Amino acid sequence: MNSIIKRIQVWDLPTRVFHWCLVLCFIGAIATQESEEYRIFHVTFGYTMMGLVIFRLLWGIIGSRYSKFSSFFFGFKKTREYVIGLLKNKPVHYLGHNPLGSIAIYLILLIVIAISVTGYCIFNDIGSNWYSEAHELFANLLITVVVIHVFGVAISSYLHKENLVRSMITGFKCGITQEGIKQNFSFLVVALAIIGSIGYFWFYQFGMH
């Protein structure tokens, strides 16, 4: 009975909250990047993204099965096999992140850190003028990686005949029962803590200005 394919939970609530909060902040940061009038919004979006990344780094160690970095740390061999499978229209299916998706995630986390550091230096007039150029370079690099990631999600959804966007909303995919993660009340507590922290930070930021 346990081998029957059914809807199982793969993505825990904190991971999903992190993902969509990062998406909203990314869009917000892009929308406010050119306006001096909305500079405080741009900066706040940036700080929020950095906070989210710090959380994700921690959650990648102590989170649930498919949220841990150990579950999507692939070597060159598995990545090559996955790419070859894609080219042959026979990609290996991964219940969690696939090798190419994992590369995008690691790149996004690293680039957001770089953007945050350079952005902080610019906002606080620390260091030299090259920070502005580096900040813009990293921002454009992030946009590129995100576009490729979205394209990859669309391709993977088509090839595997599963809606990856929906699974990141609901947390569920189709799989064997024992492969799923268990519901945990602590997930709700952590997710609410993320939302509450963001809300408090934004209230603090605009209460000070």
- pLDDT tens sequence across 4-13: 788 999 999 9
- The proportion of the chain whose per-residue pLDDT surpasses 70, expressed as a percent, equals 98
pLDDT band of residue 3 (cuts 50, 70, 90) is low
Strand (E) positions, 43-142?
Answer: none
CATH code for the domain defined by 5-32+39-207 = 1.20.950.20
User: DSSP string of 148-178?
Assistant: HHHHHHHHHHHHHTS-HHHHHHH-EEEEEGG
pLDDT bracket for residue 208 (50, 70, 90)? low
Q: Which two tokens stand for residue 71?
A: 């579950």
Instruction: Give per-residue pLDDT as tens, 137-185.
Output: 999 999 999 999 999 999 999 988 899 999 999 999 999 988 999 989 9
Q: What is the DSSP code string of 44-60?
A: HHHHHHHHHHHHHHHHH
3-state secondary structure of 8: strand
**Farthest-apart Cα atoms in the chain, separation:** 64
**21-45 confidence digits (pLDDT tens):** 999 999 999 999 988 889 999 999 9
**Is pTM beyond 0.75 here?**
yes
Name the residue ranges covered by the structural domains of the chain. 5-32+39-207
Supply the mean pLDDT for the chain.
Answer: 93
